[in-house]
Structure 1
Amino acid sequence: MLRASAIALSIALMPVTAFAEDAFDKAERTMKAFEDVFGVTKGKRRNHTKGFCIIGSFEPQDAAILKYTNSPIFTQTSSVNGRVSHKGGNNKAADNKFADYGLAFEITTPDDDTHIIGMNTEHFFPVSTPEAFSKLMQAKAIGKEAVKAFAANSPELKAHKAYHSARDKTLRPYEGATYNSINTFYLVDDAGKRTAIRWSFVPSNDQKVVLDPSENFFFENMQANLDAGEVAWDMIITIANPDDEILNPAILWTGEHTQIKAAKLIVNSISTEAEGECDPLNYDPLILTDGFEPSEDPMLEARSAIYAIGVSKRLGEKE
């Protein structure tokens, strides 16, 4: 399988017909709206613009996960090339204020299979369709009144705002945050049986702010936590119940579920984007190993198309 860095370059050169044309058009409009909202930092990602690189390992944990999937990421320790970031397109986002973050990484198995995982600290998405997301971003580009008008006709956005505004706003560093898949994927076993899942990456230890908070201290804070001990997350996979809405990322799964601590992501070192290896990577959620399949959630294709446009733009700006 191609390494994700090579995949990023090939995606950047794909013709429009590589995606459904309608999905590509929506992705173009959404990308333009991101640029209108946040401006453009040339050579940088349009969303999750501020961040830095992590290098580490992905280690299988509970073998119970092998009942549902034959993916090689759960059978052997693999290497990780990843990135932590602030949500949004502000390259100067303040570290000393509560915010939502992102965690994305490329897993490379000993056999050179590649698997991409990308997550956010939000618990669910503000809208359920690419059309609604594009319109939401366009409303944000216009201004607050346009967003209010959009929200007036969007129960999903209202529910998202109500839930997430009620969260604990205690400042947490990247390494102290929990990240969620939001979209649904399928695990696939040897017989081809599919099991719908979501997952969260939960800090393995109590990772705190250990330095005096400033507008740009997260890099040094993670390094201090690395120097003091382990920085890691447990991958908690949640198996869907029969009544769960598996194709709507704007709905949170609630109640009791079967959960498996399937793996552990361990950070070995960090680096700036200028010095590290994460900057050219395209963290496309549709790059999966055998034993996984994307669900039919239309937001997955939309994310993939937006990322393809984004990597083409920023790599072109670096030439």
Structure 2
Amino acid sequence: MIRRSIIAIGISVVAAPAVAEGDFDFEKGFAAFEDLFGVTEGKRRNHTKGFCVEGTLTPLDETIETYSNSTLFTSESSVIARVSHKGGKANPADDKYGLLGLSMEITTPDDDLHVIAMNTEHFFPVPTSKAFIELLRSKAAGADATKAFAAANPSLKTYSEYHGALDKSLRPHEGTTYYSVNSFLLVNDAGQETAMRFYFRPSGQEDIVVDIHPDFFIENMQANIANGGVSWDMVIVLANADDNVEDPSVQWTGDHTEIVAARFTANAAMTEADGQCDEINFDPLILSDGFAPSNDPMLKARSLIYAHGVGKRLSEKE
């Protein structure tokens, strides 16, 4: 059966001229990942190592319905998710700290699709898709090129200083918080739009409960699920009037209204071979009714690169 998220690739590609950022070339963008990380055929070029998680998304706070009429927030939805290491290495070690990812394909009660793609980064290193591809290319070229890029792009220094100061303690996926990075719009019954970002934080204190080794993450999550459950709370952060909604490299600071809107509860974790997540295109522009994309240019870039990438890697499996 062909997944609807794969069918949605066609929508993204057809829409490309309307939503692409300036002269952004998504094929060159995809190639930049291959130049930096190499190619593991049949696998994602970024977030290459990962496994599947399945569960449900349950609404928590009716306050969110003031801002969005999405059925994500009215009834339980089913979820096929994928947790991963950021980067294109074929088999990075689980027993060493690194950036991680959590992506979700949510099927709402009215059979609508909603995709979420998050990272452990709090915000992005650069403001535009063109700058991001230049960053990847500079890293592939070596230390001198990367230093030159950093000197010309001050947002990278801000990103590096902030994330460099964060706690680097080793945590399993289920003990990790994931951030949307990009901004979106909530849409209510009256058509009113409210800008927001969101993050998924662990609902409990899920910890490392199995012997640590380079591939322990999946075993750890399976053990935590069996020992009482694994879940994350979806926290919606409403934008203030002075927040920069379009630039993913700008962190929102100060007090914000936060709504704990829903909870993702994992019921099972399995390898990509045994699960359903491997063929999913986690396109952040696949949104249910009650949501809309912001004008953040990285959303369009991610959508186009993902669409190109999923077709290429699936063809390599044939």
Mark yes or no: TM-score above 0.5: yes
Residue 304 of structure 2 corresponds to: 305
The alignment status of 1:7 with 2:40, answered yes or no, reads no
CA distance in 1, matches of 2:83, 2:5: 20
Contact (CA 8 Å) 1:52, 1:84: kept in 2 or not? yes
For residue 182 of structure 2, what is the amino acid of its counterpart? N
CA distance in 1, matches of 2:65, 2:293: 18
State the 1:10 CA deviation.
5.3
Residue 119 of structure 1 corresponds to: 118
Residue 294 of structure 2 corresponds to: 295
Query: Residues 178 and 4 of structure 1: is their aligned pair in 2 closer, same or farther, counting only changes over 3 Å?
Result: farther
CA distance in 1, matches of 2:245, 2:138: 27
Deviations 1:232-288, CA, capped at 9 Å, x for gaps: 000010111111111110011111111000000000001100111000000100011
Residue 316 of structure 1 corresponds to: 315
Query: Residues 77 and 4 of structure 1: is their aligned pair in 2 closer, same or farther, counting only changes over 3 Å?
Result: farther
Deviations 1:204-240, CA, capped at 9 Å, x for gaps: 0011111222111101011111111110000010111
Residue 252 of structure 2 corresponds to: 253
Residue 127 of structure 2 corresponds to: 128
CA distance in 2, matches of 1:66, 1:72: 9
State the 1:6 CA deviation.
2.8
Residue 220 of structure 2 corresponds to: 221
Aligned match of 2:17 in 7, 20, 35?
20
Residue 201 of structure 1 corresponds to: 200
Contact (CA 8 Å) 1:119, 1:179: kept in 2 or not? yes
Query: Residues 246 and 4 of structure 1: is their aligned pair in 2 closer, same or farther, counting only changes over 3 Å?
Result: farther
CA distance in 2, matches of 1:33, 1:108: 32
What SS does structure 1 have at the residue aligned with 2:103?
strand
What SS does structure 1 have at the residue aligned with 2:94?
coil
Aligned pairs for 1:129-168 within 5 A: 129-168=128-167
CA distance in 2, matches of 1:10, 1:295: 19
For residue 207 of structure 1, what is the amino acid of its counterpart? E
What SS does structure 2 have at the residue aligned with 1:20?
helix
Residue 78 of structure 1 corresponds to: 77
Contact (CA 8 Å) 1:30, 1:138: kept in 2 or not? no
For residue 61 of structure 2, what is the amino acid of its counterpart? D
State the 1:110 CA deviation.
2.2
Contact (CA 8 Å) 1:286, 1:304: kept in 2 or not? yes
Residue 50 of structure 1 corresponds to: 49
Contact (CA 8 Å) 2:183, 2:296: kept in 1 or not? yes
Residue 282 of structure 1 corresponds to: 281
Query: Residues 97 and 15 of structure 1: is their aligned pair in 2 closer, same or farther, counting only changes over 3 Å?
Result: closer
Residue 174 of structure 1 corresponds to: 173
Contact (CA 8 Å) 2:115, 2:284: kept in 1 or not? yes
Contact (CA 8 Å) 2:24, 2:129: kept in 1 or not? no
State the 1:16 CA deviation.
5.7
Contact (CA 8 Å) 1:57, 1:266: kept in 2 or not? yes
Task: Provide the alpha-carbon RMSD of the alignment.
Answer: 1.6
Contact (CA 8 Å) 1:4, 1:106: kept in 2 or not? no
Query: Residues 219 and 293 of structure 1: is their aligned pair in 2 closer, same or farther, counting only changes over 3 Å?
Result: same
Query: Residues 16 and 239 of structure 1: is their aligned pair in 2 closer, same or farther, counting only changes over 3 Å?
Result: closer
Stretches of structure 1 that go unaligned for 5 or more consecutive residues are: none
CA distance in 1, matches of 2:155, 2:24: 23
Stretches of structure 2 that go unaligned for 5 or more consecutive residues are: none
CA distance in 2, matches of 1:15, 1:262: 28
Question: Percent identity over the alignment?
Answer: 55
Structure 1 ranges of 4+ moved more than 3 A: 13-18, 21-25
Contact (CA 8 Å) 1:96, 1:216: kept in 2 or not? yes
Contact (CA 8 Å) 1:286, 1:300: kept in 2 or not? yes
Q: How many residues align?
A: 316
For residue 20 of structure 1, what is the amino acid of its counterpart? P
What SS does structure 2 have at the residue aligned with 1:314?
helix
Query: Residues 92 and 140 of structure 1: is their aligned pair in 2 closer, same or farther, counting only changes over 3 Å?
Result: same
CA distance in 2, matches of 1:257, 1:266: 26
Contact (CA 8 Å) 2:5, 2:282: kept in 1 or not? no
Q: TM-score, normalised by structure 1?
A: 0.96
For residue 257 of structure 2, what is the amino acid of its counterpart? T
CA distance in 1, matches of 2:137, 2:2: 30
Deviations 1:9-33, CA, capped at 9 Å, x for gaps: 452x679654128658522112111
What SS does structure 2 have at the residue aligned with 1:52?
strand
CA distance in 2, matches of 1:198, 1:229: 30
CA distance in 2, matches of 1:89, 1:9: 25
